C-alpha cells in the first residue's frame, strides 16, 4: 500500500521539559516538571503519579536534601546536542519537528521586564538548524512546564494575572521567531487542566480550603487558558501572516461498552464533556449548551467577562492537533466506580494493551479523524502518537523493535484510509522521534523513540544516540511511501 498524500508533513514531537536538560543553565528557573522526582516504586498502569505530590514536596525539591533524582532536569541533554538530534531527524526523512519552548528560560520568574537574551538566541539557533535541515517547526508555547516562580507568586493559571504574563511571553517569541516558525500551539493538551491542575495549570490543591474551591479554580484556569489562546491568536494576526495557530487536545475517543441505551447515553455525555467541549469552545467560540447543564449539576463556577468571550468568539483556531494513543470503553457502572474522574476508561476485549494499560487501536484513529472532520471541517494534524516499551540495546547497538514498526505502520494505514474517506489531514508527528523522560511515570525506561538514548532512570549512561530498527524502517517509508 502506498501512502496517498504527497504534500504531507512527517515528523516527531517532544517537549522542552522531557528532552532539554540544562535545568540550571543561563538563568533558567525550575518548572513544575523539573520538581517531580523519579519514583522507583511507581505503578505503571496508574495515572496517579501526576497528582501524587504536594506543594510541600515541590518546595523540598529545590534544596533536595533527600538526594532524590529529578529526571526532567536532565532530559536527554538536547540543549547541548540539538544539532546532532536534528541531523538524525533529517536523516530519517522528517520534514517537521514539533517541539516546545521553555517559558522558564525566556522569563525565568515570569514577570521580568525584558526576556533572557541568551535564551532567545538559543532557540533562534535551534529553529535555524531546523530550517537549514529543511524542516518546519511546530512550536508548543506551554507544554506542562509552568515556571515554579509563577505558581508560587501568583498561584498558577487560576489567577488572571498569569494570562497577562503568558500573553507577554507569547508576543515576545512570536515577534522573535515569526520568520522561522510557521505552526504554533499555545497549550499542550489543554484539557489536562481539569484532570491534573498542577500539571496543566500550576494550581495546587493545598492552596484551597475545600475540594469545591479547588475544582472551580481548575475550571477558572482552563477558561483563562481559552481566553489567553484566543488573545494570542488575535495578536498573531498583527505580527505576521506566516503564523498559523492551532490547538492541542489529549483526544479521548471512547466506545460504549455494549448496546444498552443507558451506556450509549453515558458515552455520549462523556464524549461531550471530555472531548468535544474543548474543540467546540476553540472553534465555535462559545461554551456549548450541553456544558451549561454539566456546570449546574456539578456546581462548577468560574468568572468570565463579555470582553473575554468576545475575544474567544472572534479568534478561533486555524487547525486542530491532537494526541492519539488509545481508545477505551464507557459504561454507567464504570463511571460510578470511578467517581466520575475517569482517565483510562474501561477495557475493550477486542484490543491488546501495552504494559502501561494503553489499548492499541489503529482503526480508532480513522474513526477519530472522520468524527472530527465531519463535526468541524477544519484541517487536522496528529501531533502525538506512539508506543512506549521497556527496551535495552542489543549486542549490535540497536533495538529490534518490530512491535513499534507494526504499531506505526498500522496507524499510518488507517490515516491513509481516513484521507481516502475525504478527511483533510495535513501532518503527523510521532511521540517521539527520540527517547525522552516519560511525562506521567517520569522514567527513561518507557521508550518511545526511533532513536535510543543511553540513559537509565537515574541518568547513568553516556547519553549517546543509537538508531533502532524502526529508524531505518521509517527512513525507507519516507523514501518509497510504501506501507
Per the annotation, the verdict on 410 as an active-site residue is no
In terms of Cα–Cα distance, which of 305, 275, 468, 483 is closest to 368?
275
Rg (CA), the chain: 21
Instruction: Give bridge partners of residue 248 from the DSSP assignment.
Output: 321
Provide the 8-state DSSP code for 242: T
In terms of Cα–Cα distance, which of 183, 170, 232 is closest to 379?
183
CA distance 292 to 159: 23
Task: Please provide the DSSP assignment of 425-456 as one string.
Answer: EEEEEES-SB----TTT--SSEE--SEEE---
CA distance 266 to 250: 20
Classify the C-alpha dihedral 17-21-24-25 as positive or negative.
Answer: negative
Q: Tell me phi and psi for residue 447, to 5 degrees.
A: -105, 130
Cell matching residue 290:
450541553
Cell matching residue 305:
467577562
Specify whether the CB–CB gap between 31 and 148 falls below 8 A.
Answer: yes
Cell matching residue 360:
492499541
Provide the 8-state DSSP code for 37: P
Specify whether the CB–CB gap between 118 and 85 falls below 8 A.
Answer: no
Q: How far is CA 212 from CA 105, 207, 216, 219, 303, in A?
A: 34, 12, 6, 11, 15
- At residue 41, the 3 state secondary structure works out as coil
- At residue 467, the 3 state secondary structure works out as strand
Q: How far is CA 395 from CA 399, 401, 404, 457, in A?
A: 9, 14, 19, 21
Hey, what's the torsion of the CAs at 389, 185, 96, 6, to 10 degrees?
100
Candidates 20, 189, 266, 384; catalytic one: 384
Element (H, E) at 245: strand 244-250
Instruction: Give bridge partners of residue 330 from the DSSP assignment.
Output: 256
Specify whether the CB–CB gap between 164 and 207 falls below 8 A.
Answer: no
Residue 343, classified by CB atoms within 10 Å of its CB into exposed (0-12), middle (13-18) or buried (19+), is middle
Residues marked active site are found at: 384
Amino acid at each position: 500500500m502506498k501512502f496517498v498524500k504527497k504534500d504531507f508533513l512527517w515528523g516527531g514531537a517532544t517537549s522542552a521539559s522531557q528532552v532539554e536538560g540544562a535545568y540550571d543553565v543561563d538563568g533558567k528557573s525550575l518548572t513544575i516538571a523539573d520538581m517531580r522526582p523519579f519514583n522507583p516504586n511507581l505503578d505503571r498502569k496508574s495515572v496517579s503519579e501526576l497528582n501524587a505530590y504536594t506543594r510541600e514536596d515541590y518546595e523540598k525539591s529545590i534544596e533536595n536534601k533527600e538526594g532524590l533524582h529529578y529526571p526532567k532536569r536532565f532530559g536527554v541533554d538536547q540543549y547541548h546536542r540539538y544539532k546532532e538530534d536534528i541531523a538524525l531527524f533529517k536523516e530519517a526523512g522528517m520534514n517537521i519537528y514539533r517541539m516546545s519552548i521553555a517559558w522558564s528560560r525566556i522569563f525565568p520568574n515570569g514577570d521580568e521586564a525584558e526576556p533572557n537574551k541568551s535564551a532567545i538566541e538559543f532557540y533562534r539557533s535551534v529553529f535555524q538548524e531546523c530550517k537549514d535541515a529543511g524542516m518546519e517547526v511546530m512550536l508548543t508555547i506551554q507544554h506542562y512546564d509552568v515556571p515554579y516562580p509563577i505558581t508560587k507568586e501568583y498561584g498558577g493559571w487560576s489567577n488572571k494575572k498569569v494570562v497577562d504574563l503568558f500573553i507577554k511571553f507569547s508576543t515576545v517569541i512570536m515577534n522573535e521567531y515569526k520568520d522561522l516558525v510557521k505552526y504554533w500551539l499555545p497549550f499542550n493538551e489543554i484539557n489536562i487542566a481539569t484532570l491534573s491542575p498542577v500539571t496543566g495549570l500550576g494550581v495546587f490543591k493545598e492552596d484551597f480550603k475545600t475540594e469545591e474551591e479547588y475544582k472551580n479554580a481548575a475550571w477558572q484556569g482552563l477558561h483563562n487558558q481559552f481566553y489567553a489562546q484566543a488573545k494570542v491568536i488575535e495578536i498573531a494576526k498583527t505580527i505576521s501572516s506566516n503564523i498559523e495557530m492551532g490547538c492541542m487536545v489529549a483526544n479521548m475517543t471512547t466506545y460504549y461498552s455494549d448496546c444498552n441505551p443507558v451506556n450509549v447515553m453515558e458515552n455520549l455525555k462523556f464524549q461531550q464533556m471530555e472531548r468535544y467541549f474543548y474543540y467546540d469552545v476553540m472553534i465555535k467560540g462559545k461554551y456549548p449548551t450541553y456544558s451549561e447543564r454539566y456546570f449546574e449539576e456539578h456546581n462548577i463556577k468560574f468568572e468570565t467577562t463579555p470582553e473575554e468571550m468576545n475575544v474567544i468568539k472572534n479568534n478561533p483556531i486555524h487547525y486542530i492537533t491532537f494526541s492519539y494513543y488509545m481508545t477505551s470503553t464507557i459504561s454507567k457502572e464504570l463511571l460510578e466506580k470511578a467517581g466520575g474522574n475517569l482517565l483510562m476508561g474501561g477495557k475493550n476485549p477486542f484490543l491488546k494493551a501495552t504494559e502501561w494499560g494503553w489499548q492499541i487501536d489503529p482503526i480508532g484513529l480513522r474513526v477519530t479523524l472522520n468524527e472530527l472532520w465531519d463535526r468541524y471541517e477544519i484541517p487536522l494534524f496528529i501531533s502525538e502518537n506512539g508506543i512506549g516499551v521497556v527496551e535495552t540495546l542489543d549486542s549490535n547497538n540497536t533495538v529490534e523493535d518490530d512491535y513499534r514498526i507494526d504499531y506505526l505502520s498500522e496507524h499510518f494505514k488507517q490515516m491513509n484510509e481516513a484521507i481516502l474517506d475525504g478527511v483533510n489531514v495535513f501532518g503527523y508527528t510521532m511521540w517521539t522521534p527520540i527517547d525522552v523522560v516519560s511525562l506521567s511515570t517520569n522514567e527513561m525506561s518507557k521508550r518511545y523513540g526511533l532513536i535510543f538514548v543511553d540513559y537509565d532512570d537515574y541518568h547513568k549512561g553516556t547519553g549517546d544516540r543509537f538508531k533502532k530498527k524502526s529508524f531505518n524502517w521509517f527512513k525507507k517509508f519516507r523514501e518509497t511511501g510504501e506501507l
